[in-house]
Amino acid sequence: MAIPEFFNSMTAWINHTEVPAQIRTVNIDGLFKNPYFLVPFIALIINYLYRQAFNNLVIIALIIGLWYFSGTEFVRDSLVNGEVQIGHILPIAGVGVAGIAILIYILFIKQD
């Protein structure tokens, strides 16, 4: 099986599982008010603080920050009538590159 066929089959499988649609329909307000999510999340943060695992805390903050940025009006307005707005590409790509650079620094360069 060639690489493009593999990616096509993976894309078809991911679309079949409807994971992207489920991610798009997450109710963030309800999620952070739900005790079944909030209690384990706070316990995880307290555990990382107790163990002084600041790298993990930065990674969690980065994931939450990128998730928040992906839902802002700036990102939503980058696609109008099926066309990508050129003025929005560089800032969005810059945020993505900065996120990846922070991850690479934390995981590979900075050694505790």
Q: What is the pLDDT of residue 1?
A: 54
pLDDT in tens, the chain (112 residues): 566 787 788 888 877 887 777 777 878 788 888 899 899 999 999 999 999 988 999 999 999 898 888 878 888 888 888 888 888 888 889 999 999 999 999 988 877 5
Is this prediction's pTM over 0.75? no
pLDDT of residue 112: 59
58 three-state secondary structure: helix
Write phi, then psi, for 79 (nearest 5 degrees): -125, 110
Give pLDDT, residue 2: 66
